[in-house]
Structure formats: C-alpha cells, structure tokens
Amino acid sequence: MNHILKAYKVTTLNQFLIERQADFPYASGEFTRLLHHIGIAAKIVNRAINKAGLADILGSIGTTNVQGEDQKKLDYIANELFISSIRNSGECCGIASEENDEIVTFDDEMSLDGKYIVCMDPLDGSANLESNVSVGTIFSIYRRISPRGEKATLEDFLQEGQKQVAAGYIIYGSSTMLVYTTGKGVYGFTLDPSIGEFCLSHNKVQTPKSGKIYSVNEGNYNSFPDGVKRFIDYCKVDSPATNRPFSSRYIGSMVSDFHRNLLVGGVFLYPPTKAKPEGKLRLIYECNPIAFLAEQAGGRATTGTKRILEIKPTSLHQRVPLVVGSYTLVKRVEEFMQEVPVEHSCGE
C-alpha cells in the first residue's frame, strides 16, 4: 500500500519554501511570504488567461507602455494583480515593471520597512495571447539598498544581476509552472488545478551542457551582427560528428523558448539589429532573472561578449542583447562574435 500512498504525496510551493528557509538566515519568514504572494498572483493571472476568450479581456486597451509597445488588456490586468499581491505581502518596498514608466513605491508602514524590491515583466509574450500561445511572467528579487523605513529609490533597482537573491518565471501553457532559484539550484512547481497549489515537479533542474535547438527570429537575419549570422549558418551545416544540423525553434515568447531549452538543451538569441543596436530585451526585469536561472541550472548567459549578471544597469528600462542557454552553445556563439568584431555588425 505504501507505493499507492506515495503516488499521492506532494510537496507544495509553500511547504518547500518553509523547509528551505534555512537558506536565508537573515530573512526569517519574510522572504517566504513574498514568494508566497507572487504565487498567489500567478494563480489569479492563470485563471484570467484561461478565461480570456470568454471574458472579453483579449486585445489592446489603446495605449502604449514606456517601451512604445501596444498594451494588451491582460498586460494591464497582470501588472495590477502582481503589484497588489506583492504589496499585500508587506515585505516589498517597491516594484519596477515593464508596464510602468517609473518605479512603483509603497508608503504604508509595513511596506516601508520591507527588505526587498521586485523587478518584473508581468506578461512576457502577451502579443501571442490571441493566438493561444504560451506566455509567462518573469520576476527578480533584490535586497534593498536604501534605509528601511524610507521609500524605495531608483538606486535600489540599479543593482547588478549577480546581487539578486531570487529570480523566476511562471509559464502559462498546457500546464502552468512556476520555476525559481535562490542561488541554490533551480526548482519547478506545476500548478495542480484540482487542489489549487503549485506542487514540486522538477527538482534541482540541470540544463543539458549542449543541445540541438537554436531559438532566434531569423526574419531579422540580414540585420544581425556577422558573428550571429555565422553561428546560424553553422547550425544549419550537416555534420554528424557534431550532431548538426540543429533544429530551429522560435515561439516569440522568451519564457516559452527559454523553458523548453532549459529542459532539453539549446540556445536562445536576441542579438542587436540595425533597428535596435542596443538589443530589445530589458536588462533588469528580463535578462537578469533569466540569466540567474540559466547559470544556476549549469547554463550560461551573455550579451555575446559580456556576462549578463556583471552588467551595472544605468537606467530602469535599459536594453541589452541576450544569448542564453546550454553552456557549450552559448560559448560557441561567443566564439563567433569574437571572430568578427561587433563594430562590423548590424546590417552591414
């Protein structure tokens, strides 16, 4: 009978967080409460996405965010839900979001005393929602620099990625998963709708050292740096000795592309182009958390020339190129980038 009972034994996200509190002796239960509230918001957003076609919450609200991108109704809903839930934790003094021009600070007494700030992309890949494609939420947590008891400042958010205390994402797909790291490995939790809980499903995730998938928008090929073009060409060459050609897989939702490559091996690229020479993805709330996860799973994340987690942010919505995934594939991209100087890039 024990094997039957074992099949029903699960470890919930909250239970796991409580058991791992010893990883953060300086945090007591504060850190656990913050992640718990991120999980609550994820469940509500998941419900909204699942009902989107029935509840008239697809489409645009007719405004653009600070990035100049069309804001979808679910962008706005997800942003408000995560801000509200994180604020209710009482452990966060401020948030930086893709959907807000400036940082959002909390001035109630409990939040002012909070130890943490959160950076987030509340709904990555939202342009794909009307096509019923997987989307995600990306989040990153830092300890604040400003004094507790005062409002959060911009300086709190302009920290190098290597100072993150936690990062993760939620992927809303055929199943909904929350994947996170606190610098002690990567863990994945799948939402069980029958009990309304995230349950441990992927313990100590390790990404393959290499892989056969490259993920990039090849429609921009002619505008890519020469080193990136050479890597893409390399991926297509028939070479049984090196398991080539590789497979091209590009969803257009970074969380979805990264999640697949994390589990099966591969590399995701969003290089600079002639139109966007600085890259498109945002350093603070997209690249840094994904890079932290990749490295904790044994992978690598760079701009093509520099480690992502070592970059000192200079602005809230700073953009950088990103190459992330299996260690040997990212290194191969870097080798191609070194062979052709970056200044010979972007559409030449």
CA dihedral 191, 178, 68, 75 (to 10 degrees): 20
Q: In angstroms, rounded to a whole number, what is the distance separating the alpha carbons of residues 164 and 208?
A: 24
DSSP state, 315?
S
Q: Angle at CA 40, nearest 5°, toward 120 and 56?
A: 80
Q: Is 280 annotated as a binding residue?
A: yes
Q: In angstroms, rounded to a whole number, what is the distance separating the alpha carbons of residues 160 and 42?
A: 26
Q: Under a CB-based contact definition with an 8 Å cutoff, are residues 134 and 255 in contact?
A: yes
Residue 226: Cβ-neighbour burial (10 angstroms; 0-12, 13-18, 19+): middle
User: For residue 32, how far is the Cα from the chain centroid?
Assistant: 19
- Identify the three-state secondary structure at position 251: coil
Neighbouring C-alpha atoms within 13 Å toward the C-beta of 276: 14
Q: Angle at CA 293, nearest 5°, toward 258 and 97?
A: 80
Between the two ends of the chain, the Cα-to-Cα distance in Å is 68
Q: Under a CB-based contact definition with an 8 Å cutoff, are residues 123 and 65 in contact?
A: no
Q: Is 99 annotated as a binding residue?
A: no
Q: Is 286 annotated as a binding residue?
A: yes
Tokens of 67: 């990035």
Q: In angstroms, rounded to a whole number, what is the distance separating the alpha carbons of residues 173 and 219?
A: 25
Q: Is 250 annotated as a binding residue?
A: yes
Q: Which long-range contacts (CB under 8 A, 24 or more apart) does 12-15 make?
A: 12/189, 12/197, 12/198, 12/199, 12/200, 13/39, 13/178, 13/189, 13/197, 13/198, 13/199, 13/200, 14/39, 14/197
Q: In angstroms, rounded to a whole number, what is the distance separating the alpha carbons of residues 54 and 57?
A: 8
Lookup result for tokens 């205390």: 165
Residue list for the binding site: 98, 121, 123-124, 217, 250, 280, 286
Residue list for the binding site for Mg(2+): 98, 121, 123-124, 286
Residue list for the binding site for substrate: 217, 250, 280
